[in-house]
Amino acid sequence: MTTTTTGTPAATGAVGAARTRLEGLAKVTGAARYAGEIPFAELAHGWLVLSTIARGRIRAVESAPVLAMPGVLAVLHHGNAPRVDGDYTGPLGAPDPVLQVFQHDRVPYVGWPVALVVAETPEQAREAAEALVVRYDQEPHEAEFSAGHPDRYTPQGSDSPAETAKGDLAAALAASAVVVDARYTTPEEHHHPMEPHAAMARWEGGRLEIVDSNQGSGFVAQELAHLFSLDPASVRVRSEHVGGGFGSKATRPHQVLAAMAATVLQRPVRVVLTRRQMFSLVGYRSPTAQRVRLGADADGRLRAFAHHAESVTSTVREFVERSADMGRVMYDADAHHTLHQVVPLDVPTPSWMRAPGEAPGSFALESALDELAEKCGMDPIALRARNEPESGPVSGLPFSSRQLQACFREGARRFGWAERDPRPGRRRDGRWLLGTGTAASQFAARAAPSTAAVTAEADGDFTVRITAADIGTGARTALTLVAADALGVPPERIRMRIADSDFGPAMIAGGSMGTRSWSWAVMAAAGELREQLALGGVIPPQGITVRSDTTAAIAALAATERHAFGAQFAEVAVDVTSGEVRVRRMLGIFAAGRIVNPLTARSQFIGGMTWGLSMALHEEAVRDRASGATVGADLAGYHVAAHADVPAIEADWVDDPDESDPVGIKGIGEIGVVGGAAAIANAVWHATGVRHRDLPIRPDRVLRAGDGGRPGS
Amino acid sequence: MAPPTSSAITLNINGEKHTLPVDHRTTLLDALREQLDLTGTKKGCDQGQCGACTVLLDGRRAVSCLQLAVAAEGRVITTIEGVADGERLHPVQQAFLDLDGYQCGYCTPGQICSALAVIEEHAAGWPSAATADVRPEAGVPELSAEEIRERMSGNLCRCGAYVSIVQAVARAAEEAAQPGASSRPWQADGPGEPGAPADGEAVA
């Protein structure tokens, strides 16, 4: 049975009331089992060997001595691996070539998989992997990104154009009373969920079974079926608890390798990535070089807008970090130009990382707005209010809702913005210079087709099955509240089952689309089930099940600009003698549709803002030009914000109803990251009078700026 | 004859003795996870940088990935599985649950084990880098948010749950300071007098 109507929500008040996580008890007692923690009889352990050169060919994999080591069962490499088919279009397009493990001898970057050692124990596998000698024919490589690289090009073939243009930019800039022309850079950044990627594969009853840590078991199952030329129904992927993802937990080499080894050895095999291996195998955020040009009248009204963004792609797969997309939504001008260009290098393929595009893009754009406010002698919030567009600046479509100014008003009130002296370098607290800054946040509110099944059980409870993923977002709990309201029963009567590809196709936890997309499917199935039950009758022992598929409903959704918005505020303290920057407080006010669970929503917003802080001050992966590898590829060399870095952060929201939307839920997983780094950078300017246009704002950069040197690089 | 590469050892974990053969290369973390099915202790980096594998050794926190299993013989080991008193959660666990002091939950066991030790260390008068006055006569500093942040900084949380973790630790510490509160269901005697860690011990 298929339905795409949501029926009338039968609110019991579950949605909107704070509720602790369903799996909370399991998480605080250590009982929650993640992918690498489920025991299997006869389990073998795979350990990956990665390339140590950035470009060339594998001449030899000297596996004989390693095969003689205790416990070693197999060494898989390009000379003996079974065939993997990469010629398909999967749920996310053509597969990343790194998934076609061991199919040829070419090495396109440091950290490319060259062998998998499988042994009886992890210790044996690790020692053998470290002992394995791989010989290469090395070729010259290039791994260093820089602005204006001669090999940069404008990508084609994306679902969203790389370039948009209207009006005469040069003329509009020339006619502007005030012009900002500024260049910004952001470094390579890595996801690093706390749980490393892990997968167990085995053949069970004629099916390939994977216990994994991922953001969408359905997508992973589809990819594996393609790669191993299997009937989709013969692959089952489960992912009950996931220790963070942030975009990195898609189909990655570890699932493919576990499946390959389990097939070769005919026994269960687990492959767990090491923290170091995660630097090259699971994607990362490309470094960016951005130029923003703004031309305005003396009163701040924009006449010219241009945002050009360059980023890295690999030589094996094109990935575009869409940093210039945000301006297509935020600000209009007579002349409006956005452009993405990429530079192919001998490096791992970048990928989506929490708030892809918007995170680095908002740093440049919202910093530039602050610079324009300074030049116009305007308050930065007033400048943004003056430039509120009536409709989508590029699309011309109306906004379904746009509560950006309400966010700024509420945020300014709570932050105490009115008392701010706009002049920089005026406040001091001992050795610290103090400053405050603000920036806007935005993230698209999209939805993708999903299916769900809701069963009225004979005992009076309800079971919901959906291939959703709870990667720490609280999705399991949120969907329970949504189902409870849709069925008109208390949440205690809902049994929520997620993260099993056998439950049918559904969107992944990504693009801030998970809860919105899954809730839609759950509401559709629950609504129809409720109508059926209203007719009366006895529930048979197997229950009554209604399935939904939102494909048609989503396709029928009116074309509008649907986004969540927000305003972020930061106060920083800068010690110009040590160069240290401390964030003292942050406040984020968001307009993100219906908030399902205030407790976990607040956590997600604050988590995103913590990422913004981490991006502003700490995160920077340094790639060595000579080797092409990441320097200090561990959590000491790649610092993410720790407890001591993170001050009191508050997040709250304003009402953001959208009567035209069937679910009214917008995603909240990413918007917290957007604008945070700009708010902090703007606050550093306010404290010191120096603009920092290169992230992170390291002590040495602050010091050089203080010496009268340029803040750059 | 080559020296043996494995031994049978007995580990005292959460009040129970476990005898098991271990490869000498096996870390305490891997022994817990792979051999004893105590998977509550997490492996985040395997090199002492993230704190996810924090356990208590003789009441003090230690990262179990930098501890060889053979070296843990004779120690009193407490893991996250031994923190609750049967069905009754420890106040630290309850505070994490109530205040949403986590998201994905993977760093949580390490955060909780660290928090237990932080509360004890603070009550015993141990100063931290955030302590303004470290003279003994200054007494026990207030366990401010800044103190908690400093003392918990060995435990990374990538979801960014620090704000609510700090609130949870503060609430649990307040409860522990109430008269009659029992914050130590595990067997060790706590951190004792301030001093250097024992040899070979990696303090988180």
Tell me the per-residue pLDDT of A326-335, one tens digit each, with 9 for 90 and over: 999 999 999 9
> Among residues 445-474 of chain A, which lie with CB inside 8 Å of chain B?
471-474
Mean pLDDT of chain A: 96
Q: Is A223 a catalytic residue?
A: no
Residues in chain A closer than 8 A to B162 (CB atoms): 610, 641-643, 646
ipTM comes to 0.96
Q: Residue B16's pLDDT is what?
A: 98
* DSSP one-letter string for A513-526: -HHHHHHHHHHHHH
Give the distance between the most distant pair of CA atoms in chain A: 81
Tell me the per-residue pLDDT of A386-421, one tens digit each, with 9 for 90 and over: 999 999 999 999 999 999 999 999 999 999 999 999
- CA torsion through residues A604, A609, A615, A618, sign: negative
Residue A264 has pLDDT above 70, yes or no: yes
Domain A24-32+448-555 is found in CATH 3.90.870.10 = no
Domains and CATH numbers, chain B: 6-82 (3.10.20.30), 91-176 (1.10.150.120)
Tokens representing A420 are 């701010």
Q: Residue B191's pLDDT is what?
A: 47
Q: Place A706 in a pLDDT band, splitting at 50, 70 and 90.
A: confident
Q: How far apart are CA A534 and CA A145, in angstroms?
A: 63
Q: Place A5 in a pLDDT band, splitting at 50, 70 and 90.
A: very low
**A275 → closest Cβ in B33, B46, B107:** B46
Q: Residue B178's pLDDT is what?
A: 83
Residue B113 has pLDDT above 50, yes or no: yes
Provide the 3-class DSSP secondary structure of residue A173.
Answer: helix
Q: Which of A59, A143, A56 is nearest to A107 (CA)?
A: A56
CA angle centred on A80, ends A74 and A81, rounded to 5° = 85
**B49 → closest Cβ in A122, A636, A646:** A636
Tokens representing A300 are 């701040």
Task: State whether residue A514 sits within 8 Å of chain B by CB.
Answer: no
Task: State whether residue B203 sits within 8 Å of chain A by CB.
Answer: no
Buried b (16+ CB within 10 A) or exposed e, A178-214: bbbebbbbbbbbbbbbbbbbbbbbbeeeeebbbbbbb
Which CATH code fits A366-381+394-445+558-713?
3.30.365.10
Q: Place B184 in a pLDDT band, splitting at 50, 70 and 90.
A: low
Nearest chain A residue to B35, by CA = A39
Residue A320 has pLDDT above 90, yes or no: yes
* DSSP one-letter string for A32-85: ---GGG---TT-EEEEEEE-SSSSEEEEEEE-HHHHTSTTEEEEEETTTPPP--
Q: Residue A708's pLDDT is what?
A: 47
CB A600 within 8 A of CB A165: no
Task: State whether residue B105 sits within 8 Å of chain A by CB.
Answer: yes
Tell me the per-residue pLDDT of A533-574, one tens digit each, with 9 for 90 and over: 999 989 999 999 999 999 999 999 999 999 999 999 999 999
Q: Place A4 in a pLDDT band, splitting at 50, 70 and 90.
A: very low
B158 and A640 within 8 Å at the Cβ level: the answer is yes
Specify the domain boundaries for CATH 3.30.365.10 within chain A.
Answer: 24-32+448-555, 366-381+394-445+558-713
* Segment (H or E) for B62: strand B60-63
**B97 → closest Cβ in A28, A634, A644:** A28
Determine the residue among A272, A596, A638, A643 to mutate to test chain B binding: the one whose Cβ has the most chain B Cβ atoms within 10 Å: A643
- Tokens 């053998």 found at: A128
Task: State whether residue A37 sits within 8 Å of chain B by CB.
Answer: yes
Residues in chain A closer than 8 A to B161 (CB atoms): 603, 606-607
Q: Residue A456's pLDDT is what?
A: 98
A194 and B153 within 8 Å at the Cβ level: the answer is no
B105 and A27 within 8 Å at the Cβ level: the answer is yes
Q: How far apart are CA A354 and CA A672, in angstroms?
A: 10
